[in-house]
Amino acid sequence: MVHLQVETDKSLEEILQVLEITPTKDIKVETQNWGDTFVHDMTFNKTFDDSNLTVLPNE
């Protein structure tokens, strides 16, 4: 698994604990707050981060 997006009312720390994931410097997390809902967008391998992927003109 290289990417996970979770919509929840739980904090990032609670989500990582439930998933038994130890936060490291290699995990990139972007959290958005939509009122009572948090959207945690986690990338576990920076190679697959959107900023590292090239989109070709024909795709």
Q: What is the pLDDT of residues 4-52, one digit of tens each?
A: 899 999 988 999 899 898 878 788 888 999 888 999 998 887 776 767 6
- CA dist 21 and 37 (Å) reads 21
With respect to residue 59, please indicate whether it lies within any of the assigned structural domains.
no
pTM listed for this prediction: 0.69
- CA dist 47 and 18 (Å) reads 25
Count of domains in the chain? 1
With respect to residue 58, please indicate whether it lies within any of the assigned structural domains.
no
What range defines the domain where residue 28 resides?
Answer: 3-49
Residue (of 18, 26, 23, 16) closest to 46 by Cα position: 26
With respect to residue 57, please indicate whether it lies within any of the assigned structural domains.
no
